Amino acid sequence: MGMFAQIIAPALFIGVAEVSAAPLKGYEALQVTSSGSGQINLKPGETRPVSVSFQNTGTASWQNDGEYFVSIYTHEPKYRSSVFKDASWFQSLQPVKITESLVKPGQVGTVKFLLKAPAQTGLYSESFQLAAEDKAWIPGGKFTLSINVSNDGSSSVAQTIPTPTTPVVSNGSSEGLNALLLLRSAKKLVAKGNERVSYTIGIKNSGTKAWKNREVRTPAVSAAFDSAQTKDGSWASSTSLISKQDGSVEPGSLDFMTFQFRAPSQAGTYVVRYTLAIDGVTVPGFAIDIPVDVTSSAPAAVASPVIQQYQNTTSNSYDSSEPFSAKIAEPMMRIAFLIVDDETDWKVNISCADNWKLVDGDGKVLYTAKANKGVEALYDDSVNAYFYNTGDGKKKSASHLRFVPDVLNTICTVNNFDRRVSRGFPYPDNTFRNTLELRHNDSKDRTWVINELPMEMYLRGLGETSNVSHEEFQKALLTIARTYALYHWERGTKYKDEFFHMTSYSWDQVYNGYGQEERAPRLTKSVNETTGRVVTYQGKTAITPYFSRSDGRTRDWSEVWYGTVPWIKSVPTPCDVGKTLWGHGVGLSASEALCQANQGKKWDEILHYFYQGVDLDRWW
């Protein structure tokens, strides 16, 4: 939900199962053979079989069916539709599964698939990668084919070098309709649930018939994901995204089309598919496949039930006098900030600045440590077990591992994690207050390091605005950030199956830990001056989206997402007039709010401006 990341606050096509971006231990491969030693010559339209074999050099067996089946995906970039797709392929971005039903460690597995050359001659480079479905990219499993498409099938270098990511999606027809998708504004999109997306394509008329009326449509036959669900208000009809009738597109000419659609409403990885119709006739075999990563299911969060139970007390508004009766105890937030993979060599080494204890998930003390004593810990997925090493050898734990300082809010460090080294960041940001936890989950089959700490300490580590921004703006922003965190703490809306409330990334709220607190003392002051303040509507925690910059007005909730939220209505943003909209446009515009603060408005005035009819209650 980072303010400048343009992500929706409270919560971010045939369905494609997402493969883990980092390899997991147990899966490794060594290429043994490849057809033509990776050099292939084809005539336009020619089909040729390809065979590539790999030795299984890992510890996990490969299968061609069932859970974690092994196949090849297009790569560099991942999940693209290949120009060499044949009708026999599993799907346009996943040519084939391995041939053998079972490949044990040490044995050799083979992928055999057909390449169908495009009509356009040229020298192509096509990369593929072995993957265990929903599990891992297999290290050593990437291969690249150098393919020369020429009219005589010789090895001479062609005059043009087409992009390897250009999908050929038409096999032609007796009516002379044929199309080639040459250009696209993005190979892959990242969007929030139901976010409006604008997309531009360049299509070549590769047939023999001139095009007059060109129309982008939803498919007549729905696949695993119904593209009709992406309907946007800009569409010409419920099935037609855009219709163009300006002039004629002659054979060999290129036509550009820009259209809008809505990302699927639920978080996940999809491929949205549309078709092309010319003068009312659908081009045979042609499809516009757009990979989309939906980062959050924002609309569903509005109706999600509260699962945290606490006893209500008298609400105390912002104007109430101190002391007050707390509505709830200050929540303990659980923020996942690091996936344990090859970035840290599949393990972590953690210490704390005061005396601390290593505790298992059942509360059993495994080790009592002195200040700054580092302990190594890991989850081994090959045996589904946790291990730790205090310096005298590796020991097994019965459950997940918690690093708990003796003094609340003591600073703990992940010693083998440094964002400057692994991610090119300006700061290491590897220090965090209070408890750290190493925990694997079966939901996504990944291991996280989770920071468990009080809400107000969490807010000190947010990187949603700078130390030098106006204090009233800081207080407004931190109040809605607190509200956002409380909303998901109450509901377990986002990551209930992964045992935490939010991640530290921009699709939730940017959290840098204690390093941010050190760099931004004015933010800590603003946190302290708004302690426990929450945006509420009719006594309940409000959903409070915010975004980077508007264009003269904010949007009603219903303009962008499903349903109606009574406290989120469109308001003028005079400071943003003439500017370009950055973000979804719903709720608080950060640039307008900062302008209002600079003009003398107080933080509570700013919040009442953007969220109508709300209260600013102090709950702890």
Sequence-distant (6+) residues with CB within 8 A of 2 are: 463, 464, 505, 506, 507, 509, 510
Average pLDDT over residues 233-250: 83
Average pLDDT over residues 416-436: 93
**Cα 496–Cα 501–Cα 506 angle in degrees, nearest 5:** 120
Lowest model confidence (mean pLDDT) among 44-58, 161-175, 376-390: 161-175
Q: For residue range 132-160, list pLDDT tens digits in order.
A: 887 788 988 888 887 888 887 543 332 22
Question: Residue 90: which pLDDT band, with cuts at 50, 70 and 90?
Answer: confident
Lowest model confidence (mean pLDDT) among 116-125, 259-268, 300-309, 337-346: 300-309
CATH code matching the domain that covers 13-294, chosen among 2.60.40.2140, 1.20.1250.20, 1.10.260.40, 2.60.40.10: 2.60.40.10
| Mean model confidence pLDDT for the chain | 83
- For the entire predicted model, the pTM comes to 0.57
Lowest model confidence (mean pLDDT) among 256-265, 289-298, 440-449: 289-298
Nearest Cα residue to 130 out of 118, 119, 138: 138
> How many residues can be counted in the chain?
620
Average pLDDT over residues 469-498: 90
CA–CA distance, 181 with 171 (Å, rounded to integer): 13
Amino acid letter for position 308? Q
Domain boundaries, the chain: 13-294, 306-335+456-618
For residue 161, is pLDDT > 50? no
Straight-line distance from the first to the last Cα atom of the chain, in angstroms, rounded to the nearest whole number = 24
Nearest Cα residue to 29 out of 76, 1, 61, 69: 61
C-alpha distances in Å from residue 387, one per residue of 36, 101, 355, 356, 398 = 46, 33, 21, 18, 9
Sign of CA dihedral 74, 443, 3, 260: positive
* Tokens standing for residue 104: 């044990």
Q: What is the reported pLDDT for 38?
A: 58
Average pLDDT over residues 170-180: 65
Q: What is the reported pLDDT for 445?
A: 84
Q: What is the reported pLDDT for 435?
A: 97
Average pLDDT over residues 595-617: 96
Displacement of CA 72 from its chain's centroid (Å): 22
Backbone angles phi, psi at 356, to 5 degrees: -150, 170
